[in-house]
């Protein structure tokens, strides 16, 4: 097995990588990226908020926490037909992964969950990779989602274990890790990353990368979000995340988890094309497309298409891993 793919990273090793002079770091990350992935290819994912606002949690960054006055209204769970028609539009625009987000602390076994299972089934049948982010899950709920055809589950660690209680007090880091374990055991692909710009230190970022890269299996996707500061939340006045820190995080994640899809997630509206190009160079190979994330703006499909043209990038096809696997099986 290659020595590049490791789950036994030491904190000090990660620190050394993270602190490498920037251009050298980008070069190393780019080299590994080229070795393990098609660097001309970027996964295009579309997000849809299927249940917005009114969340009981106190995540200090979040526009959807009911306790902050952010101007985001509460909207009940969308209808399956509306979700499927949005998914079809996203597919027509070139998106291969469709991610449905709900402002829930956790999934409850009720009619809403049954409706989400129907949505998962429908999107899967359309030939897209279907992903959900619904909060905490039990092992049984993860299995039900898997049986409905769920491809991936997004559940972020957001920051380090040490910094976590500064950002969220209504659940623990261990709760997060438990859900990730339930997802993994159900055979669903894991999407897990974090946010920079929460007021964390470099040490916190290194700690978070350490937790991610020493999970028994690396997450298949690692979203790196830049905080979108939301008026009304405790982090409303945080300083904008530094682009060089974003590049450093992406490059370090790429070196630690060479095969993962590293997603340049929230924060792209604040970045120039040149800045995003540096992120792709440093190993990012996935984005959220469409003019809205969950509740905040994102570059439009047209803007992203123009960026792809300019940089010579192309959208990755759906289920590529599986297709490659089948191809290898046939050849053997």
Which residues does the annotation mark as catalytic?
Answer: 55, 59, 62, 99, 131, 191, 263
Integer angstrom CA distances of residue 295 from 47, 71, 78, 128, 185: 10, 10, 15, 22, 31
The CA distance from 178 to 278, in Å, is 34
Give CA–CA dist 172/262, Å, rounded. 25
Question: Which of 53, 122, 135, 290 is close enough to bind ligand SAM by CB under 6 A?
Answer: 135
Q: How many CB atoms lie within 10 A of CB 247?
A: 24
Distance of closest approach, residue 62 Cβ to ligand SAM, in angstroms:
4
Residue 295's binding partner among ligand SAM, ligand DTB, ligand SF4, none (Cβ under 5 to 8 angstroms by kind) is: ligand DTB
Kindly state whether residue 156 participates in binding ligand SAM, applying the rule CB under 6 A: yes
Q: Report the candidate in 277, 180, 179, 268 with the shortest Cα–Cα distance to residue 220.
A: 180
Partner from ligand DTB, ligand SF4, ligand SAM, none contacting 132, C-beta within 5 to 8 A by type: none
The interface with ligand DTB within residues 163-222 (CB under 6 A) comprises: 193
Applying CB under 6 A, the site for ligand SF4 has a residue count of 9
DSSP string, 17-33: HHTS-HHHHHHHHHHHH
Task: State which of residues 44, 50, 103, 150 lies at the interface with ligand SF4 (CB under 6 A).
Answer: 103
Nearer to ligand SF4, 103 or 157 (CB): 103
Identify the residue among 213, 225, 285, 286 touching ligand SAM (CB under 6 A): 225
Q: Is 105 in the site for ligand SF4 (CB under 6 A)?
A: yes
Please give the radius of gyration of the chain, using alpha carbons only, rounded to the nearest integer: 19
Which region, judged by CB under 6 A, interacts with ligand SAM, from 22-30, 66-74, 220-228, 240-248?
Answer: 220-228
Out of ligand SAM, ligand DTB, ligand SF4, none, what residue 65 binds, judged by CB under 5 to 8 A for its kind, is ligand SF4
Q: Which of 30, 22, 56 is nearest to 254 (CA)?
A: 30
- Of 295, 268, 286, 290, which is closest to residue 92 (Cα–Cα)? 290
Both tokens assigned to 59: 């995540």
Instruction: Tell me which residues touch ligand DTB (CB under 6 A).
Output: 47, 63, 101, 133, 154, 156, 193, 223, 225, 228, 265-266, 293-296
């Amino acid at each position: 097995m290659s020595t590049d793919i490791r789950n036994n990273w030491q904190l000090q090793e990660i620190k050394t990588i993270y602190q490498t002079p920037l251009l050298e770091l980008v070069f190393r990350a780019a080299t590994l990226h080229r070795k393990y992935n098609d660097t001309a290819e970027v996964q295009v994912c579309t997000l849809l908020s299927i249940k917005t606002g009114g969340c009981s949690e106190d995540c200090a960054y979040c526009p959807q926490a009911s306790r902050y006055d952010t101007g985001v209204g509460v909207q009940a769970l969308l209808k399956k037909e509306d979700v499927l028609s949005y998914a079809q539009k996203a597919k027509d625009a070139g998106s291969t992964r469709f991610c449905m987000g709900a402002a829930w602390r956790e999934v409850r076994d009720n009619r809403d969950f049954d409706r989400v299972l129907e949505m998962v089934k429908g999107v899967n049948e359309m030939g897209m990779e279907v992903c959900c982010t619904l909060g905490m899950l039990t092992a049984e709920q993860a299995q039900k989602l898997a049986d409905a055809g769920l491809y991936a589950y997004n559940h972020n660690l957001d920051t380090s274990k040490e910094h976590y209680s500064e950002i969220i007090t209504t659940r623990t880091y261990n709760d997060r890790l438990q859900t990730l374990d339930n997802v993994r055991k159900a055979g669903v692909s894991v999407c897990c990353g974090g946010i920079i710009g929460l007021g964390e230190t470099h040490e916190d970022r290194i700690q978070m990368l350490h937790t991610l890269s020493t999970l028994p299996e690396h997450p298949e996707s690692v979203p790196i979000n830049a905080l979108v500061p939301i008026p009304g939340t405790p982090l409303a006045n945080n300083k904008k995340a530094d682009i060089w820190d974003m590049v450093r995080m992406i490059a370090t994640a790429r070196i630690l988890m060479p095969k993962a899809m590293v997603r340049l997630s929230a924060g792209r509206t604040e970045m120039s094309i040149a800045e995003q190009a540096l992120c792709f160079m440093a190993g990012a190979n996935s984005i959220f497309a469409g003019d809205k994330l969950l509740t905040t703006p994102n570059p439009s499909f047209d803007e992203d298409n123009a960026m792809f043209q300019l940089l010579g990038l192309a959208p990755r096809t759906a289920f590529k891993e599986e297709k490659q696997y089948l191809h290898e099986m046939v050849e053997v």
